[in-house]
Amino acid sequence: MSINIAVLASGRGSNLEAILEAIAQGKLDAVVKLVLVNVPGAGALDIATKYGVATAVIPNAGMTRKEHEEKVIAELKKHELDFIVLAGYMRVLSSHLLSNFKDSRGFFKVINIHPSLLPAFPGVRGYEEAFEYGVKVAGVTVHLVDEKVDHGPILAQAAFDRQPDDTLESFKARGLKIEHEIYPQVLQAIAKGGVSFFQRHAASDVTADRETARR
Ligand code: GAR
C-alpha cells in the first residue's frame, strides 16, 4: 500500500532528497504531497521543485508559535496525509499541532529522524555533541514524535563507529549517509506493514512486547 506524506524541513533537504530518490527508484511506495518549510530559501525547496513536488513556505519569524502552527495545520489539512515526516525541521511541534494528526490508538502520525542514538544527545546539535563527548559508537534514530523534543517510540536505529582519525566533518558525513538509507527504509516498512515498535517497559519487566499498529 502506498502512503501519502508531507515532508517538513528547515534547511538543506538531503533527507528529503533521499526520500524522493527512493520513490523515483521504486524503492519506496509513497507520494510526497507537500514539502513545507519554515525558512524562506531553504535548500529543501529547490529539491522539491526538482522532483515536481508542491511546496509551501510558512516563515515563523515575527509570529507567535500558535499563529505559525495554525497556518501550518491549515496547509497540511489541504492534503490527504497518512504521515507527517520531519526531515531537519528545526521547530518543536506543540501538542495542539500534534493532536490534529493522531492515529486510532492515540499515537501521533508524525515521524522524525535524529542524528544520535536517542535518548542520547537530543536537540539541534546531535552529531556535534556526540563527537565532542567522545562517543565510540554513534548513530541515528527514526522515531514517532511525541510532545517532548526528539522523543517518542523508536522505529529504527543504526549505529556507526567513530574512527580514530575522524574529524567532525567525516563523522557527520558517515552519519548522514546512514540517515539517507534508513529513513526511506523505515517509511517503506510502514507502507508495507504499518508502524511497529517495542513498547516501553518498566525496568522490572522481564519481556518486551512487540507493539504493532496499523494505520
Ligand atoms: C539531519 O542530520 C537530521 O537528522 C537533523 O537535521 C539534519 C537535516 O539535514 N535533525 C535534527 O537534528 C532533529 N533534531 P537535511 O536538511 O540535509 O535533511
Tell me the whole-structure pTM to 2 decimals.
0.93
Measured from the Cα of 115, ligand 1's closest atom is 4
Query: Of 143, 136, 180, which Cα lies nearest the Cα of 160?
Result: 136
From the number of C-beta atoms within 10 Å of its C-beta (0-12, 13-18, 19+), residue 12 rates as: middle
- Residue 23 pLDDT > 50, yes or no? yes
Band of residue 206 on the pLDDT scale cut at 50, 70, 90: very low
Q: Per residue in 139-187, pLDDT tens? A: 999 999 999 999 999 999 999 999 999 999 999 999 999 999 999 999 9
Measured from the Cα of 140, ligand 1's closest atom is 4
State phi, psi for 78 to the nearest 5 degrees.
-70, -15
* Residue that is written with C-alpha cell 548513530 in the block: 139
SS3 state at 48: helix
Distance 15 CA to ligand 1 centre (A): 7
Catalytic residues: 114
pLDDT given for residue 208 in this prediction: 45
Ligand 1, atom 17, residue with closest C-alpha: 14
Contact 87, 9 (CB under 8 A): yes
Domains in the chain, start-ordered, CATH in brackets? 1-101 (3.40.50.170), 112-215 (3.40.50.170)
pLDDT given for residue 205 in this prediction: 45
Distance 204 CA to ligand 1 centre (A): 35
Contact 29, 191 (CB under 8 A): yes
Q: Per residue in 27-78, pLDDT tens? A: 999 999 999 999 999 999 999 999 999 999 999 999 999 999 999 999 999 9
pLDDT given for residue 202 in this prediction: 61
What is the percent of the chain where pLDDT is above 90? 89
pLDDT given for residue 169 in this prediction: 98
Measured from the Cα of 175, ligand 1's closest atom is 2
Give the helix ranges, DSSP H, for the chain. Answer: 14-24, 43-50, 65-76, 95-99, 126-133, 168-193
pLDDT given for residue 31 in this prediction: 98
pLDDT given for residue 210 in this prediction: 53
Cell readout for 20 is 524522493
Distance 75 CA to ligand 1 centre (A): 22
pLDDT given for residue 42 in this prediction: 98
**Which residues contact ligand 1 via a Cβ below 6 A?**
9, 11-15, 87-88, 113-115, 124, 126, 150, 176, 179
In sequence order, the β-bridge partners of residue 66 are: none
Distance 62 CA to ligand 1 centre (A): 24
pLDDT given for residue 109 in this prediction: 97
